[in-house]
Every structure is written in structure tokens, then in C-alpha cells.
Amino acid sequence: MTINVLFAARPDRWDDYEAPLSAALADAGLDAHLATDLPPGEVDYIVYSPSGPVSDFRPFTRAKAVLNLWAGVETIIGNPTLTQPLCRMVDEGLTLGMAEWVAGHALRHHLGTDLDVRRAPGDWSPHIPPLAPERPVTVLGLGALGQAAARMLANIGFPVTGWSRTQKDIAGIRCLSGADGLDRALSNAQILVLLLPDTPATANILDARTLALLPRGAVILNPGRGTLIDDDALLLALDTGQVGHATLDVFRQEPLPGEHPYWHHPRVTVTPHIAAETRPRTASLTIAENIRRSEAGEPLLHLVDRKHGY
């Protein structure tokens, strides 16, 4: 029997996904009909993004799973009409892209690249950074993206501490958990990377109290979620020098309003939510594998725990 797969993302993404997703479904041995317009009662799987046309899941009475194209699920997890299993997007391209963004900006701040490229004519004063083993880095969040970033940083030579809600055991990474572990993780973080999900438990995890725990002049990289940071507290910490610089890729409101202080602060770098883009080829492989698993009666990959919100 043919499996009906509804592509319920932004219309402009169809051209990007039609060919690789069709190929991935075929390569997985699935007799699948992929389309952007199907009768809701005949849909077996929904490939979904929050910017797409579906917000009411009640008509999809036959749907076996909703397969999210985004890593984050905070915009859908609270939808009361969603009763189908929900899977996050975790794929090789997205994971590697995030790890590369984190490593690139960590090295940028570690090496003092901004200082060097902005020299005035005649300024030939030496600037010698420490070596990577002398620069402790902390990653908050040890899911798939956090682990990939932590491993890449450790491979460069940084001593890496990771913190997560539940205790993890990752070779080469000092892993902490719990409230006491969070304070310890922050206390020596010369570079702090935020890769936690957006949940009530993580909202404003960086506030005045936790920012004060960082070594003075620490650098913050946030490619995770804008809600992780108390913006007013961060701006004050930047003004006082408690935080030396913040490179921010995500914000509470996106696009970031033109009047927001982050645009004009000399110690803030804004990037336009580009740290980890879902790539059609690798994302299609993940979607096809999950449909194959479901049809074979195997557990779905990256199934969202609604209690915890990710």
C-alpha cells in the first residue's frame, strides 16, 4: 500500500526538498507518495515546519507521526491539537553545521581575531593569545548538537566542560549536571556556549546571578535559543566588563528589531540565526529513515518527550 507523505513546510522549500526527499524515500525501499496537498484523512506522515500551512492536526486522523524539519520544537510542543508522535530534526548536516559555527566563533574570540583585523595604520603591537589548552570552554546542553560542538572544541585542544539536565558520560568532556553542577560549569568558563532547548526550566538560565559566576571578561556564544538569556542582565554585564563579548545567533524576537541595543553595542556580534541550517539532502535521509522505522514497527528516532519539551 502506498504511504502518503504530506510536505507541510513553507511553499518555497518544496523545490529544495522534492527531489532529495523523493530519492531518500525510494532508497529506503518505501512506496511513498510525496505531495504538498493531500486529503488530511489520507495522510500517513507529516513533514512539518512551524512556518508551514498546518496548525490544526485534528483532521489528520491516520497520521502516524509528525516529522519536524527544525531541531527546536518549542513552537509546536504546546499545540493542543497535536496528538500524533512528534520527532525533532537531528541530522548530520545540521549537527556538523552547528559544531562548525561554534568552533569558528570560539576560535575567533580565543585568537582575538576581531582585535587583529581592526588595527589602525601603524599599530603593530603584539597580541599573543594563550594556547587552546589554557582556555576553558563550557557547553550548556549536551544533546546531539551540544555533544557535537563539545567534541569538536575538545579536538581543537580546549578543555571542555559540559552541563546538562541529566548526567552524561562523554569521553574527553568533563560532564556535570544539576544546580550545583551548573554553578561549577560556569565558574571557569572563559568561553560559554549555549545549546539548551527552549523550555520553562531553561528560560533566563543566564541571568544576573549566573552571569556573575563567569570569570570576568568571559565570552558568550548563543546559537541555542534567545530565551536562554535575560537580555537586560547581559547588557549590564557587557557594560561593566563582566562579560567581554557576546556573539548571538538567536533572539526572543526575530528578525532582531532595528532599535534593539544588541545592534549597536560594541561588545555584541549579531548573526541572523544561521548557526545550524537544516540541509535538504541530509534532513531527507533522517525523515525517510524514521518513516521506514515506523512502517517496520521500530522505535522512532528523536521522539520528543512532551513532559520535558524536547
β-strands 268-270, 243-248 pairing: parallel
pLDDT at 203: 97
User: 191 has which bridge partners?
Assistant: 137, 219
CA distances (Å), origin 82, targets 63, 71, 126 = 11, 17, 58
pLDDT at 218: 98
Closest C-alpha to 140, from 88, 114, 111, 177? 177
Q: Where exactly does CATH 3.40.50.720 map onto the chain?
A: 3-91+278-295, 94-270
Closest C-alpha to 238, from 269, 265, 258, 206? 265
Any catalytic annotation for residue 225?
A: yes
Residue 310 scores a pLDDT above 90: no
Question: How many C-beta neighbours within 10 Å does residue 43 have?
Answer: 22
pLDDT at 144: 93
pLDDT at 156: 98
pLDDT at 306: 87
Query: pLDDT for 155-186, tens place per residue?
Result: 999 999 999 999 999 999 999 999 999 999 99
**What mean pLDDT is predicted for residues 10-29?**
97
Whether 225 and 72 have beta carbons less than 8 Å apart is answered as: yes
Tell me the longest C-alpha to C-alpha distance in the chain.
Answer: 74
Distance CA 190, CA 199 (A): 25
Any catalytic annotation for residue 273?
A: yes
pLDDT at 44: 98
Query: pLDDT for 199-226, tens place per residue?
Result: 999 999 999 999 999 999 999 999 999 9
DSSP 131: P
First and final CA of the chain: distance in angstroms?
32
Confidence of residue 45 (pLDDT cuts 50, 70, 90): very high
Mean pLDDT score of the chain: 96
Selecting among 225, 245, 292, 302, the annotated active-site residue is 225
Fold exhibited by the domain 3-91+278-295: Rossmann fold (3.40.50)
pLDDT at 277: 86
Closest C-alpha to 142, from 110, 170, 109? 170
Query: pLDDT for 88-138, tens place per residue?
Result: 999 999 999 999 999 999 999 999 999 888 888 999 988 899 999 999 999
Selecting among 62, 273, 281, 293, the annotated active-site residue is 273
Residue 232 scores a pLDDT above 90: yes
Only one residue has cell 504530506, namely: 6
**What mean pLDDT is predicted for residues 66-83?**
94
Closest C-alpha to 268, from 279, 280, 276, 260? 260
Question: Cell triple for residue 149?
Answer: 560542538
Confidence of residue 237 (pLDDT cuts 50, 70, 90): very high
DSSP 31: -
Residue 257 scores a pLDDT above 90: yes
Where does residue 34 rank: exposed (0-12), middle (13-18), buried (19+ CB within 10 A)?
buried
Fold exhibited by the domain 94-270: Rossmann fold (3.40.50)
- Kindly report which listed range (25-34, 120-129, 284-293) carries the lowest average pLDDT score: 120-129
Whether 65 and 83 have beta carbons less than 8 Å apart is answered as: no
Distance CA 270, CA 234 (A): 14
Distance CA 161, CA 234 (A): 22
**What mean pLDDT is predicted for residues 285-297?**
98
Long-range own/partner contacts, residues 168-172 (CB < 8 A, 24 or more apart): 168/142, 170/142
Instruction: Give me the percent of the chain exceeding a pLDDT of 90.
Output: 92
- Kindly report which listed range (2-6, 31-35, 118-122) carries the lowest average pLDDT score: 118-122
φ, ψ for residue 303 (rounded to 5)? -70, 130
